């Protein structure tokens, strides 16, 4: 018997699916498929799916890694519950779940073969990310408009200020809509004194001693970065977008020209000149002590020797064991170039389209048992109705209740099978209609992702497109194994690109 736990997540979106509704749907799914629910459920209420920093989700990952757990399946309503970012979803399933022998079952996905499941899952994950990006654009536009009107875009007040809420006159869900502005707080004079000392070039420790406070270093750094806020301006869009591998471009803060600054929105604690002196000091410290960006190995986890031994990224090279090394830039350029060529080729698109048309034919040959199932459900409904009528005429209803319960279990099981058959028919219709042009468009979108400048995004795209890359330590011939489609032999490109030294000293 399959033993499973539930993972439930709702977001701040008022139209999202509630935790209770998800739980009911998954318990119905478990009952229909004969799945035993064991252990605690994992839930995150009012949590975003854009990252994995969720208490329930983190507890689930810890338990996946724990030895001796009593379950090996996770029931989830749909792909968006796990994450609205494809990269996060792939890392969770490929790195965490599969590695520890755990399978995720989505109620929104029909039971099917692995290739079909992968295609449908990829489509849904792409739609989840599109929804997230669309919602983000709308949210950012609303924040920008709030700032232009002199309101805060959200978040807590910086030290030295407090939030003052005012009603806008609008009503939402029966409650007045309020927006906030900054007003000086109880410690405003201390903050002003500290920042004035810093603008004059005093060290943090000396400035703290003069003010007579013991604020933590992290708070001081944040205050200094908010220098323009303390000059009476609202500053927005400073933080860079957070990605799975850190911050986009490797920097936590965007360039100043990308900031949105609305001047004179609240009472200033320092002058604008003092604020600029503080920011200039921060920029100078960064120039003098900045560290180089971390090297991203694009083929990490993909590059293998023919016997399955991994090539590991190390010091700007890929190393096999303790001996053979190959320049990372050279092999990555060759592999990425060949993958781009393959994904834009007609044979690849034709092979994938043929595969799914053949799959649709196989699915169409399955016997259609929907009619007898529907008749059986009608019989169960009649029997249940008669038994319910008899209960009012008997003094010992327990036996009738047990019969009704057994019939309801059978009904639920048949309904689940019918639902699965309907999903299969819908999937077969999609596969029948997929043409080479459709596949080509899908592959071109993958190539567009690969042309992104962000190496973290490129690595994630390669992990989605490729199963592995076999690289021989003797001949340096490579074979690219795609998740869908034929293998691509690219030995000549990997063995002799311009400037490529196949054997480097260990």
DSSP string, 31-62: HHHTPEE-S--EEETT--SSSS--HHHHHHHH
- For 120, list phi and psi in degrees, rounded to 5: -65, -40
pLDDT value at residue 497: 34
Report DSSP state, residue 504. B
**Cβ-contact 236, 244 below 8 angstroms:** no
On whether the CB atoms of residues 174 and 200 are closer than 8 A, the answer is no
Q: 450 or 30, which is more confident?
A: 30
| pLDDT, tens digit (0-9, with 9 covering 90-100), for 105-133 | 988 887 666 655 666 666 665 665 545 44
Tens of pLDDT, residue by residue over 88-101, are 788 888 888 988 99
Q: Which of 469, 458, 357 is nearest to 119 (CA)?
A: 357
Quickly list DSSP for 228-278.
Answer: HHHTT-EEES-BPPEETTEEGGG-SB--GGG-EEE-S-S--SS-HHHHHHH
Average pLDDT over residues 357-381: 84
Partners of 234 in the beta sheet?
Answer: 262
502 has pLDDT over 90: no
Average pLDDT over residues 342-352: 81
Rounded Cα distance, 302 and 331, in Å: 12
Q: Lowest mean pLDDT of 150-164, 196-210, 287-301, name the range.
A: 287-301
User: For the structural domain made of 3-136, what CATH number should be given?
Assistant: 3.40.50.1390
- Residues 159-210: tens digit of each pLDDT: 999 988 888 777 766 678 788 889 999 999 999 999 998 888 788 888 898 8
pLDDT-derived band at 498, boundaries 50, 70, 90: very low
Encode pLDDT of 386-440 as tens digits. 887 787 677 777 778 888 888 888 888 888 888 878 877 887 788 788 788 887 7
H helices of 149-187, in order, are none
How far does CA 232 lie from the centroid of its chain?
A: 37
Average pLDDT over residues 479-501: 49
Q: Residue 420: helix, strand or coil by DSSP?
A: helix
Does residue 9 contact residue 56 with C-beta atoms inside 8 Å?
A: yes
Q: Name the pLDDT band for 215 (thresholds 50, 70, 90).
A: very high
Average pLDDT over residues 492-502: 34
Rounded CA gap, 374 and 380, in Å? 10
Residue in this structure with the two tokens 């309904």, named with its chain if needed: 415
Residue 316's pLDDT is what?
84
Q: How does 452-471 read in b/e, with b if 16+ C-beta sit within 10 Å?
A: eebbbbbbbbbbbbbebbbb
Instruction: Tell me the per-residue pLDDT of 227-252, one tens digit each, with 9 for 90 and over.
Output: 999 999 988 777 766 555 555 555 67
pLDDT at 499 over 60: no
Mean pLDDT, all residues of the chain: 79
**More confidently predicted of 448 and 491:** 448
What is the share, in percent, of the chain residues with pLDDT greater than 90?
18
Give the pLDDT confidence score for residue 405 in this predicted structure. Answer: 84
Domain range summary for the chain, segments of one domain joined by +: 3-136, 189-289, 303-350+438-495, 366-432
pLDDT of 243: 53
Residue with tokens 């971390």: 294
Residue appearing with tokens 């399978």: 103
| CA gap 114, 345 in Å, rounded | 24
CA–CA dist 506, 504 (Å, integer): 6
């Amino acid at each position: 018997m399959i033993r499973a736990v539930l993972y439930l997540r709702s977001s701040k979106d008022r139209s999202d699916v509630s935790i209770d509704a998800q739980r009911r749907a998954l318990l119905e799914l478990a009952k229909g498929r004969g799945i035993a629910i064991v252990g605690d459920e994992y839930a995150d209420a009012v949590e975003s799916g854009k990252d994995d920093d969720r208490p329930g989700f983190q507890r689930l990952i810890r338990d996946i890694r724990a030895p001796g757990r009593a379950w090996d399946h996770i029931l989830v309503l749909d792909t968006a519950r796990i994450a609205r970012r494809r990269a996060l979803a792939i890392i969770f399933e490929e790195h965490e779940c599969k590695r520890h022998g755990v399978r995720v079952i989505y109620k929104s996905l029909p039971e099917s073969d692995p290739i079909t499941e992968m295609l449908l899952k990829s489509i849904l994950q792409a739609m989840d990310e599109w929804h997230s990006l669309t919602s983000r654009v709308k949210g950012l536009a609303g924040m920008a408009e709030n700032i232009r009107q002199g309101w805060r875009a959200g978040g807590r007040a910086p030290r030295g200020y407090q939030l003052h809420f005012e009603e806008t006159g609008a009503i939402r869900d029966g409650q007045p809509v309020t927006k906030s502005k900054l007003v000086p707080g109880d410690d405003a004079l201390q903050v002003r004194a500290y920042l004035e000392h810093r603008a004059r070039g005093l060290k943090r420790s000396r400035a703290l001693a003069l003010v007579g406070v013991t604020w933590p270093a992290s708070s001081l750094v944040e205050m200094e970065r908010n220098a323009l806020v303390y000059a009476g301006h609202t500053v927005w869009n400073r933080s860079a977008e957070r990605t799975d591998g850190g911050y986009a471009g490797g920097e936590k803060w965007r360039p100043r020209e990308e900031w949105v600054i609305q001047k004179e929105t609240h009472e200033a604690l320092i002058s604008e000149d003092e604020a600029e002196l503080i920011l200039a000091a921060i920029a100078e410290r960064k120039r003098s002590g900045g560290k180089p960006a971390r090297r991203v190995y694009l083929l990490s986890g993909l590059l293998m020797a023919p016997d399955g031994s991994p090539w590991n990224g190390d010091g700007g090279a890929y190393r096999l064991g303790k001996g053979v090394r190959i320049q990372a830039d050279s092999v990555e350029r060759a592999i990425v170039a060949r993958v781009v060529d393959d994904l834009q080729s007609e044979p690849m698109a034709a092979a994938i389209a043929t595969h799914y048309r053949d799959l649709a034919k196989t699915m169409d040959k399955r016997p259609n048992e929907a009619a007898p199932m529907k008749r059986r459900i009608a019989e169960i409904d009649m029997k249940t109705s008669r038994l319910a009528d008899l209960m009012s005429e008997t003094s010992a209803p327990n036996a009738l209740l047990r019969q009704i319960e057994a019939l309801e279990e059978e009904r639920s099981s048949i309904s689940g099978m019918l639902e699965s058959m309907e999903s299969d028919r819908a999937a077969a219709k999609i596969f029948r209609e997929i043409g080479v042009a459709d596949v080509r468009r899908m592959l071109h979108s993958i190539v567009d992702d690969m042309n992104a400048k962000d190496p973290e995004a490129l690595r994630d795209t390669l992990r989605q497109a490729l199963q592995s890359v076999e690289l021989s330590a003797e001949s340096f011939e490579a074979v690219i194994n795609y998740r869908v489609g034929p293998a691509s032999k690219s030995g000549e490109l990997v063995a002799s690109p311009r400037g490529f030294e196949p054997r480097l000293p260990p």
